[in-house]
Amino acid sequence: MKHEAHSIRRVSLYDATLRDGMQGAGINFSESGKMRFAHLLDEFGIDFIEGGFAGSTPGSRRFFEQARREHFSHSKIVAFGSTRRAHITVEEDSQLNELLQAETEYVAIFGKSSLFHVTDVLGVSAEMNLQMIEDSIAFLVGHGRKVFFDAEQFFDGYKQDAAYAMQTLEIAQRAGVIGLVLCDTNGGCLPHEIFETVQTVVAKFPQTCIAIHTHNDSGMAVACSIEAVRAGASQVQGCVNGYGERTGNADLISIIPALELKMGLPCIRDGQLKNLREISIVADDLANLRPDPSAPYVGRDAFCHKAGTHANAVMKNPKTFEHVAPESVGNQRQFVLSDQSGGAIVRQKAKELGFDVSESDPKLIRSVLKEIKQRELDGYAYEAADGSFKILLQKMMKQHTPAFELDGFRVIVEKRGKDEPCISEATIKVRVNGKEELTAGEGHGPVDALNEAMRKALTHFYPEIEQVQLTDFRVRILDPQDATRAQTRVVIESSDGMRQWGTVGVSENIIEASWQALLDSVEYKLLDDLHKQNR
């Protein structure tokens, strides 16, 4: 099947993360993070990077000042602003002058394309709005800038008064823009509406770059962007990971592989698609967000197989349940254990963890599956706890040697006054090769104190434990109806700087559940290091 956009040789990409994306709740990059992000996009092959509102804050000014001193081998930095205010000249308008002061080759300004917004929001006449658009663009072009015109509320305006919405584009083109950006600002359009309208605009302005800028209020931003490209749009605007106000902007991380792998339309530098997941993860890290495990293409679970029949089919031919190769976007295939797992997943997970569990040992496989199903009934979950599963498998294969013996521990939480913080202290007694160690630790909470005491007790015997850091600690109440007697699941993620692993514990006592997960975390590290030494 041929795509309607087959004549487009290359689709350009315009990233608005540092402006539109930053308007999302909880999204915030540091100044150094913004520049690091811009260089990451430059290396990846994004054509335009919108740096923010020119001069709106001291931070924005510093970004553009620093950007002038930086070298970008591919990307063009864009300053953003609006058309002049009503009843003043362009020379008097501070926003337009700040755009000039940003000293970027490219600028983008937004203006109203919806007659409803012109009269009810701006409070000016239809003719005045057109004059504001023309004056602003001509002023910037006259000062040597290359201008994108963001036709705000274009699709809503087109539905209300198509002639006026098109007139705003005609005025912008006459004033000298290099690109017309069609904005679904409310995010309410459906894909077929976008296709039909963009097709009309492209036919009207065949020599002008037509860009699409969609929001995700209807969950359609990516689909609408793809439909715009099919209709002839030559530029897609969006944000990494779909950041943005309300429900976000079009997600470039989903759009890029759709264009490259499914539509055959190049949009980034050759060979860079394999870095797609890294771009997504680094962006979340800079924004201090946890990556979405279910994100298309790049999420941890995007190529994760849980059902036994599906896993068995994927092992035979990945195309059975994978729409693209995970490696093509920098991801990897995973098989997770659960009560839905079959023998194929158990064998595959065992192989990944370094065990040789052949098909000729069906009794062991059945025993492992039975144990997993029973443990899941008790509240355990091994999907994010490979470390605990490895130790369980070692025990069932009679290959497990405990790193130490626990004689006992005690945890104390003390409150000394209503305005004083709680004090947590733990003591622990362990035995390693017959040698006893008794020590204590303090922490911000009982689990932190227990972790500290355990580390102190074991570091004397196993110095490598100092490398282990807890990177996440999650608690899930499994039976809320049982109130304070409810079964509790604790999942811990740990890292030694080279590897990352998860462990799990379950108990009616949250300290006991935490201890189980902490114990598995340490034993995983010690036993894995020993296994590597013996290879």
Per-residue pLDDT of the chain (535 residues; tens, 9 = 90+): 334 444 446 999 999 999 999 888 888 888 888 999 999 999 999 999 999 888 777 888 899 999 999 999 999 999 999 999 988 999 999 999 999 999 999 999 999 999 888 888 888 999 999 999 999 999 999 999 999 999 999 999 999 999 999 999 999 999 999 999 999 999 999 999 999 999 999 999 999 999 999 999 999 999 999 999 999 999 999 999 999 999 999 999 999 999 999 999 999 999 999 999 999 999 988 888 888 889 999 998 888 777 667 766 777 777 877 789 999 999 888 776 655 555 666 777 677 766 766 654 677 777 877 787 788 777 887 777 788 888 888 888 888 888 889 999 999 998 877 778 888 999 999 999 889 999 999 988 899 999 999 999 998 899 998 888 888 888 888 776 666 667 888 988 988 888 888 899 999 899 999 999 999 999 888 887 776 665 5
Q: What is the DSSP letter of 23?
A: G
Are 372 and 424 in the same domain? no
Nearest Cα neighbor of 19 from 72, 55, 69 is 55
Are 388 and 434 in the same domain? no
- Domain span at residue 430 reads 405-533
Are 36 and 83 in the same domain? yes
Are 335 and 454 in the same domain? no
Helices (DSSP H) in 420-503: which residue ranges? 446-459
Residue 288 lies in a domain: no
Residues 6+ apart with CB under 8 A from 173: 180, 205, 208
Are 443 and 390 in the same domain? no
Residue 88 lies in a domain: yes
Are 356 and 413 in the same domain? no
Residue 173 lies in a domain: yes
Are 463 and 348 in the same domain? no
Residue 51 lies in a domain: yes
Are 58 and 160 in the same domain? yes
Domain finish residue from 396, 418, 441 = 396
CB atoms within 10 A of CB 274: 12
Residue type, 60: S
Residues 6+ apart with CB under 8 A from 258: 222, 226
Domain finish residue from 244, 269, 294 = 269
Pairing, β 209-214 against β 179-184: parallel
Are 316 and 238 in the same domain? no
445 three-state secondary structure: coil
**Confidence (pTM):** 0.72
Q: How many distinct structural domains can be found in the chain? A: 3
Domain CATH code at residue 19? 3.20.20.70
Residues 6+ apart with CB under 8 A from 478: 379, 486, 487, 488, 489, 506
Are 19 and 74 in the same domain? yes
State the pLDDT at residue 2: 39
Spatial distance between the Cα atoms of 168 and 174, rounded to a whole number of angstroms: 10
Spatial distance between the Cα atoms of 514 and 191, rounded to a whole number of angstroms: 48
Residue type, 195: F
Domain finish residue from 396, 416, 442 = 396
107 three-state secondary structure: strand
Residue 227 lies in a domain: yes
Residue 276 lies in a domain: no
Radius of gyration of the chain (CA): 29
Residue 291 lies in a domain: no
Residue 5 lies in a domain: no
Instruction: Extract the tokens encoding 343.
Output: 């023998």
Domain CATH code at residue 517? 3.30.160.270
Spatial distance between the Cα atoms of 86 and 319, rounded to a whole number of angstroms: 58
Are 95 and 235 in the same domain? yes
Are 373 and 420 in the same domain? no
